[in-house]
Amino acid sequence: MELALVGLFVGAALASLFMAWVIGAGSSGATPFAPAVGANAIGTMRAAFLVGVFGFVGAVTQGGNVSEAIGSGLVGGTSLPVTGVILVLVLGAGLMAIGIATGYPIATAFTVTGAVIGVGLALGGTPVWAKYQQIAAVWMLTPFVGGGIAFAIASVLPRADVPERFSIPALAGVVGAVLLNVQFGFLGEAGTAGSVRTAVQRALTVDGVLSAVAITAVGAFAVAVAVWWDVRRDESGGLRRVLLALGSLVAFSAGGSQVGLAVGPLLPLLDEVGVVSSFAVLVGGGLGMLAGSWTSAPRMIKSLARDYSSLGPRRSIAALVPSFLIAQLAVLLGVPVSFNEIVVSAIIGSGAAVGGWAAVDARKILVTLGAWTGSFAGSFALAYGLAFVLL
């Protein structure tokens, strides 16, 4: 292997590590526990610590799908050279750093996706329209689906005719059912991807739809019963523990989704280098995100928790449930998704359900929407222009 290639790969790896740090400091490090901090269920510094740990675990166990999509699924007919990878990562991280400095949540998924497509097309690649349609559908539907589900949950939880000792366990059961079917990178046969549910089926030597439904139902019921007992025993403490558990799951999902934005562009280069595995790259990306969460996430956590809506524990739960569901759907599809978009939309929906629009900062929302739109368009234009001139 040529020394020049090694040097370029090291440069790309450092750019990827910087991107991972920025992601941890910004979107994935801030959004998962922002509702919990807003509800005073956990302190800002402790939230940053936990989101780093769970984000790392998610990156290592669930990071493959989105990483592959970013690395080879956005542009056809070409593979990004090392210099193109460096350009993508520096542009994405630079725009994210601007968002962190100003306190506005620029969407990492938008910046990196725009940069990858811009560089790839400038180098003669062809558009992958089917993937673009899938990504656009997820991006456009997320605010309505996530905000709508959060609005519906937040509208039900305070009602006197829906006791929380039943409504909260029911929500926990739904989350448990989804978690049983989430794909992990090591639970399948021979170390392949698989779910807890498929692992149980394999251990019991059963197969088929009926056994899958039965195992999922039993697991969801067990989770619901445990939460029912905890909330019935100590309502305020039980709600707080449910909220922290949901925040941890969202942080885990953030790691599985967002690490692909940092390390995905590196994956096509691994065949050229030949001495680095994709698992090692995921671990490196996870560590970079962990470092970002521990060192710089508190500012963005405070911005999201305090500025978007006045949240209590119930509205925070209402925000985190759809956040987890949408994030896991995106990981399953291999679609890069913005956690800022997911959680902010859910926060708005849950806040509006109880406090009306007076509980939401309309100006902040409009500026955020502008930042989301501008991050994709700006990164695409910059990446295309710079790649066309320099590469």
Predicted confidence (pLDDT) per residue in 77-136, tens digit: 877 787 888 888 888 777 777 766 766 656 788 888 998 999 999 988 899 999 999 998
Binned at pLDDT 50, 70 and 90, residue 178 comes out as very high
- Pick 366 or 329 by higher pLDDT: 329
What's the pTM? 0.85
Binned at pLDDT 50, 70 and 90, residue 173 comes out as very high
The encoded tokens of residue 334 equal: 């291999």
Residue 343: predicted pLDDT = 78
Cα 290 to Cα 40, 177, 380: the distances in Å are 23, 28, 28
Q: What is the mean pLDDT of the chain?
A: 82
Q: Which of 39-48, 204-213, 285-294, 333-342 has the lowest mean pLDDT?
A: 39-48
108 near 261, Cβ under 8 Å?
Answer: yes
30 near 295, Cβ under 8 Å?
Answer: no
Q: Residue 229: which of 221, 294, 339 has the closest Cα?
A: 221
- Pick 311 or 184 by higher pLDDT: 184
Residue 370: predicted pLDDT = 76
Place of tokens 């406090």: 355
Average confidence (pLDDT) over 141-165 = 84
Residue 310: predicted pLDDT = 58
What is the C-alpha separation between 77 and 217, in angstroms, rounded?
A: 45
The encoded tokens of residue 107 equal: 């969407």
DSSP assignment of 9-59 equals HHHHHHHHHHHHHHHHHTHHHHTTTHHHHHTTSS-HHHHHHHHHHHHHHHH
71 near 12, Cβ under 8 Å?
Answer: no
- Going by C-beta distance under 8 Å and a sequence separation of 6 or more, which residues neighbour residue 243? 35, 36, 39, 41, 313, 316, 317, 320
Rg (CA), the chain: 21
Residue 359 has pLDDT above 60, yes or no: no
Residue 45: predicted pLDDT = 83
Residue 309: predicted pLDDT = 47
The encoded tokens of residue 296 equal: 């710089």
Residue 155 has pLDDT above 70, yes or no: yes
Predicted confidence (pLDDT) per residue in 194-233, tens digit: 888 998 998 888 888 899 999 999 999 999 999 999 988 8
Residue 174: predicted pLDDT = 94
